[in-house]
């Protein structure tokens, strides 16, 4: 349970706090486009084929030097009739407009209103695409769309996960077409990109997708009938037959919206037709299963809760233990391991501060075996620098190319880190 602090970490950093009264605002999809090196050519190709009368807003987030004067706006006017604007603090987002990020601030969105975030020394590692995509996912849910175009590095990949976790849609430029394939490749490697396309084919798929009832009627609450529920059960049976996991008792609204999102990707309006689709295509059963398991996670997610966990819970546990007594922690639903390793860092820091050392065992489980395999590698994208302090990155991680590796030797000899399957006979399905 979250315990609020007097002042949230986001407020301390000057970031807008989370607030989502979306239902009262006029509805239209907002498309975030992330681009870096080689992105201008890709953006021009995209808008050359994008109709100008679409009921969407487009926000282009680029990697720009602080004093860079962009000519993107003047160039884009040759490719689209939509209004082109530079993002301003407090500006309301309107459809059929293209918004360009400024060079010296990060962009966030709350209640369809832009907020510009001043850069500080704590923002030494800038990930403007991840930052905006996360904000977009929180604010717009299923009406958030994220597109990754040409660029180097991994910026945007964590944002893609956030958008998918909130029920939105994602696209990436084909790596072979991109002038620089690093960003598209990193996004595609998450396994969470719905469409991998050359830029000239993206607009057609995008316009079809936003006309689907999943988007066009996103705010309507329609109670499913008995026949609809019968088809849902058939889908659950197909997933269970292939993967052995039963979703029939899981959150009804979540499962229904995840299924409807896959229907929108395939431009299928009737659930009966989608049942036939997955009966004939076992790969779609697996894709839907993965969609059901999308876990939105990051290091020290909800910093206030982790702060209280360290100050109240960890301190209490360590004070009540004898030195020869082990400390065991179980992290259920660990996804790709960020929460488990966050706890490991807090425990190591707490023991050092208290000058008491214990044998620590962290057990972490998840339904998704692919997430567990990722967690076992203890390798994370460079983008985690947005959530992990420079001090912790230096102490607990090794940087290699565009990734950070957990340094096992940064934890004391009393540790048993979650680096292998701890019990193959344990009733839980998958252990780190």
Chain segment 239-265, per-residue pLDDT in tens:
999 888 888 888 888 888 889 999 999
Cα–Cα distance list, 320 to 21, 151, 417 (Å): 44, 51, 22
Cα gap 312→315, rounded to integer Å: 6
CATH 3.40.50.180: does it fit domain 27-215? yes
122 is catalytic: no
Lowest mean pLDDT among 35-44, 74-83, 164-173, 404-413: 404-413
- The fold of 303-416 is Rossmann fold (3.40.50)
Contacts of 199 by beta carbon, 8 Å cutoff, 6+ apart: 42, 43, 45, 46, 49, 149, 173, 177
What is the band of 412 on the pLDDT scale with cuts at 50, 70, 90? low
Instruction: Give which of 323, 227, 242, 236 is closest to 286, Cα–Cα.
Output: 242
pTM for this predicted structure:
0.77
Cα gap 258→267, rounded to integer Å: 14
Which ranges in 49-175 belong to alpha helices (H)? 72-76, 128-140, 157-165
The yes-or-no verdict on residue 411 having pLDDT over 60 is: yes
The yes-or-no verdict on residue 6 having pLDDT over 50 is: no
Residue range 218-247, pLDDT digits in tens: 555 455 677 888 999 999 999 999 888 888
The predicted pLDDT at position 25 comes to: 47
What is the band of 424 on the pLDDT scale with cuts at 50, 70, 90? very low
The predicted pLDDT at position 429 comes to: 41
Alpha-carbon torsion 264, 266, 267, 271, what sign? negative
> Which of 106, 130, 139, 155 is an active site residue?
155
Q: Where are the domains of the chain?
A: 27-215, 221-292, 303-416
The predicted pLDDT at position 224 comes to: 64
The predicted pLDDT at position 20 comes to: 43
Q: How many Cβ atoms sit within 10 Å of the Cβ of residue 366? A: 25
What is the band of 86 on the pLDDT scale with cuts at 50, 70, 90? very high
Region 303-324: mean pLDDT is: 89
403: exposed, middle or buried (Cβ count in 10 Å: 0-12, 13-18, 19+): middle
Lowest mean pLDDT among 5-9, 63-67, 259-263, 399-403: 5-9
Cα gap 432→422, rounded to integer Å: 7
Cα gap 349→73, rounded to integer Å: 48
CATH classification (class only), 221-292: mainly alpha
The yes-or-no verdict on residue 11 having pLDDT over 70 is: no
The yes-or-no verdict on residue 18 having pLDDT over 70 is: no
The predicted pLDDT at position 19 comes to: 44
402 is catalytic: no
| Two domains, one topology: 221-292 and 303-416 | no
Region 44-65: mean pLDDT is: 92
What is the band of 46 on the pLDDT scale with cuts at 50, 70, 90? very high
How would you classify residue 430: left for phi > 0, otherwise alpha for psi between -120 and 50, otherwise beta?
A: beta
Instruction: Give which of 39, 32, 45 is closest to 204, Cα–Cα.
Output: 45
What is the band of 22 on the pLDDT scale with cuts at 50, 70, 90? very low
Cα gap 190→280, rounded to integer Å: 25
Region 328-338: mean pLDDT is: 87
How would you classify residue 355: left for phi > 0, otherwise alpha for psi between -120 and 50, otherwise beta?
A: left
Q: Between residues 427 and 195, which one has the greater pLDDT?
A: 195
Region 401-411: mean pLDDT is: 82
Lowest mean pLDDT among 137-146, 180-189, 200-209, 327-336: 327-336
Q: Are strands 113-118 and 105-110 parallel, antiparallel or unpaired?
A: antiparallel
248 is catalytic: no
């Amino acid at each position: 349970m979250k315990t609020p602090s007097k002042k949230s970490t986001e407020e301390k950093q000057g970031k807008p706090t989370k607030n989502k009264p979306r239902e009262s605002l006029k509805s239209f999809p907002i498309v975030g486009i992330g681009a870096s090196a080689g992105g201008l050519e890709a953006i021009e190709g995209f808008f050359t084929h994008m109709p100008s009368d679409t009921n969407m807003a487009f926000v282009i987030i680029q990697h720009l030097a602080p004093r860079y004067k962009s000519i993107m706006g003047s160039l884009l006017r040759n490719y689209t009739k939509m209004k082109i604007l530079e993002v301003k603090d407090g500006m309301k987002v309107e459809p059929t407009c293209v918004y360009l990020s400024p060079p010296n601030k990060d962009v966030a969105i709350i209640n369809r209103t832009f907020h510009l975030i001043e850069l500080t020394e704590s923002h030494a590692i800038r990930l403007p695409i991840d930052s905006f995509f996360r904000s977009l996912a929180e604010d717009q849910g299923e009406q958030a769309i994220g597109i990754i175009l040409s660029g180097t590095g991994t910026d945007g990949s964590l944002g893609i996960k956030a958008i998918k976790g909130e029920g939105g849609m994602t696209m990436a430029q084909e790596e072979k077409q991109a002038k620089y394939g690093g960003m598209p490749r990193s996004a595609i490697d998450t396994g969470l990109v719905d469409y991998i396309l050359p830029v000239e084919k993206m607009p057609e798929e995008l316009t079809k997708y936003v006309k689907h009832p999943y988007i066009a009627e996103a705010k309507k609450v329609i109670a499913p009938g008995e026949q609809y529920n019968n088809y849902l059960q058939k889908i659950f049976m197909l997933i269970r037959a292939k993967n052995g996991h039963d979703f029939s008792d899981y959150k009804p609204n979540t499962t229904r919206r995840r299924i409807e999102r896959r229907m929108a990707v395939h431009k299928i309006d009737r659930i009966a037709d989608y049942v036939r689709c997955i009966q004939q295509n076992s790969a779609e059963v697996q894709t839907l299963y993965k969609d059901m398991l999308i876990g939105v996670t990051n290091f020290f997610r909800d910093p206030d809760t982790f702060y209280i966990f360290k100050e109240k819970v960890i301190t209490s546990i360590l004070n009540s233990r004898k030195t020869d007594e082990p400390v065991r922690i179980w992290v259920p639903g660990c996804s790709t391991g960020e929460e488990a390793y966050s706890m490991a860092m807090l425990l190591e820091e707490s023991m050092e501060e208290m000058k008491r050392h214990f044998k620590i065992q962290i057990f972490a489980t998840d339904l998704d075996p692919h997430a567990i395999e990722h967690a076992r590698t203890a390798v994370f994208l460079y983008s985690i620098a947005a959530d992990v302090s420079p001090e912790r990155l230096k102490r607990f991680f090794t940087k290699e190319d565009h990734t950070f590796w957990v340094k096992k030797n940064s934890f004391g000899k009393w540790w048993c880190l979650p680096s292998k399957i701890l019990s193959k006979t344990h009733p839980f399905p998958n252990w780190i």
